[in-house]
Amino acid sequence: MLLTCQAGFEPLLARELAAAGRTAMEQGPGWVRADGAAFDEMLAFPHAELMAPVELRGDSVNALAQRVAEFFLASLQGERVDAPWPCVWLGPQEITGLGRRIGAVETAFGELLRRKLSRVAKLAVAEAPRGAGPARGLWVYFTDFGRVLVARDVLSHGQRRMADDDLAPSRSYLKIEEAYVVLGREPAAGETVCDLGAAPGGWSYSAAKRGARVLAIDNGPLKGGALNHPLIEHWREDAFKYAPKAGVTLDWLFCDLVEEPHHVLQHLVAPWLAQRWCRRFVINLKFGRVDPVALLAELRASDSPFVQHAPGFRVRHLYHDREEFTVVGEVAGS
Ligand SMILES: C[S@@+](CC[C@H](N)C(=O)[O-])C[C@H]1O[C@@H](n2cnc3c(N)ncnc32)[C@H](O)[C@@H]1O
């Protein structure tokens, strides 16, 4: 299996795999090659898992394109392609000049495919499907200029680079936008959101621009598009002391507090989920001062509030996350 992740986080991905009883055999910037025969949707660090990757080598653009085309055509035997299929070319941005190499091989491959199977070539889509889940197509991952790992079946964990918005008051805005993709849902007009640790307001703004009504709780000031937004009410108070009125269930809990994660889990996440104060949640937990792999084990343990009250939850290290995880889910029976 080839697993991709945010560059610099390979050692943590390797440790997460080891905790799951798997072995990382090789790694480079943004990728880890590991044993394992099945996708593991629970893993937090991978952005994508490429099943049974085949290693191909070539010392020129044409040689690599030829090998990839041969692999792809051979793997298509007996398969009918009559719908758009993802044709995704990737590699570490950290290797200078590799992006140009990838582009050149992709173009040469496209020409070879058009000559052999123009109908299939026309259906190629140059990006992974949006959202988390399995997909079949062609993924080509460059580990360096002369070596690629190719696979037909991939599990996407949902992370992706999001587009910024000039009115968004913080880079955090990109995290919540990405979290919606992982969850497969986003706030809708008329829904209610409580945003704990809201300032300067990127998450609140993201919900309000979709027409949701937001209660933003933070002692700090809101800025940019969140400041004086008609759908955002700002309360300057302690997030740990706030609770919705008795009998009220909010559609969304957002929580992005710079606080110790165990404290957030015990004193905020646990009551919010156990009392069903929200239907869905996006919760960011900072792991800068704790062991992230131990924290993941705690999030998945039987006494975790997520396991107990939101069994389908997903923990992800997002494309836009730094030393933090984002947990998304729906509260059971809410
Ligand atoms: C990373 S920032 C949140 C960024 C925000 N999600 C956005 O999109 O702009 C963390 C915020 O948590 C707030 N915070 C930390 N502890 C808090 C607490 N106990 N109650 C309320 N806010 C708190 C800080 O004031 C800070 O504004």
Q: What is the pLDDT of residues 106-151, one digit of tens each?
A: 999 999 999 999 999 999 999 999 999 999 999 999 999 999 999 9
pLDDT digits (tens, 9 = 90+) for 220-244: 999 999 999 999 999 999 999 999 9
Residue with token string 């070596």: 147
Write phi, then psi, for 281 (nearest 5 degrees).
Answer: -150, 150
Whether residue 210 is found in the same domain as residue 321: yes
- Alpha carbon 206 to its chain centroid, in Å, reads 17
Residue 164 lies in a domain: no
Using alpha carbons, select from 184, 189, 176, 138 the residue that is nearest to residue 157.
Answer: 184
Residue 161 lies in a domain: no
| Upper half-sphere CA count for residue 268 (Cβ side, 13 Å) | 26
**18 - beta bridge partners?**
none
CATH at residue 209: 3.40.50.150
Report whether pLDDT(334) > 80.
Answer: no
Least confident of 136-140, 254-258, 298-302, 330-334: 330-334
Nearest CA to ligand 1 atom 14: 197
Which residues neighbour 7 within 8 Å (Cβ) at sequence distance 6 or greater?
29, 30, 92, 93, 94
Going through the chain in order, the beta strands assigned E by DSSP cover 2-4, 24-28, 31-34, 48-50, 54-57, 85-90, 124-125, 133-144, 147-156, 192-196, 213-217, 232-235, 250-255, 278-286, 314-316, 324-330
Which residues neighbour 119 within 8 Å (Cβ) at sequence distance 6 or greater?
81
pLDDT value for 55: 98
pLDDT digits (tens, 9 = 90+) for 267-285: 999 999 999 999 999 999 9
Q: Which of 156, 181, 210 is the last residue of a domain?
A: 156
Concerning whether 175 is annotated as a catalytic residue, the answer is no
263 CB within 6 A, ligand 1: no
Whether residue 206 is found in the same domain as residue 295: yes
Residue range(s) defining the domain that contains residue 279: 172-330
pLDDT value for 58: 97
Whether residue 234 is found in the same domain as residue 120: no
Q: Which of 105, 127, 156 is the last residue of a domain?
A: 156
Cα 168 to averaged position of ligand 1 atoms, centre (Å):
16
173 CB within 6 A, ligand 1: yes
321 CB within 6 A, ligand 1: no
Whether residue 184 is found in the same domain as residue 266: yes
Q: Which of 156, 181, 208 is the last residue of a domain?
A: 156
CATH at residue 61: 3.30.2130.30
179 CB within 6 A, ligand 1: no
Cα 214 to averaged position of ligand 1 atoms, centre (Å):
15
pLDDT value for 156: 97
Whether residue 147 is found in the same domain as residue 176: no
- Find the mean pLDDT for residues 63-92: 97
Whether residue 143 is found in the same domain as residue 188: no
Whether residue 149 is found in the same domain as residue 271: no
To the nearest whole percent, how much of the chain has pLDDT over 90? 99
Say how far apart CA 318 and CA 327 lie, in whole Å. 10
Cα 249 to averaged position of ligand 1 atoms, centre (Å):
22
Number of domains in the chain: 2
pLDDT value for 248: 95
Both tokens of 62, joined, read 């044409």
pLDDT value for 276: 97
**Mean model confidence pLDDT for the chain:** 97
Say how far apart CA 203 and CA 173 lie, in whole Å. 5
Nearest CA to ligand 1 atom 11: 197
- Find the mean pLDDT for residues 304-312: 97
**DSSP 8-state class, residue 302:** T
Whether residue 189 is found in the same domain as residue 285: yes
Residue 165 lies in a domain: no
| Residue 333 binned pLDDT confidence (cut-offs 50, 70, 90) | confident
Whether residue 19 is found in the same domain as residue 147: yes
170 CB within 6 A, ligand 1: yes
Cα 115 to averaged position of ligand 1 atoms, centre (Å):
56
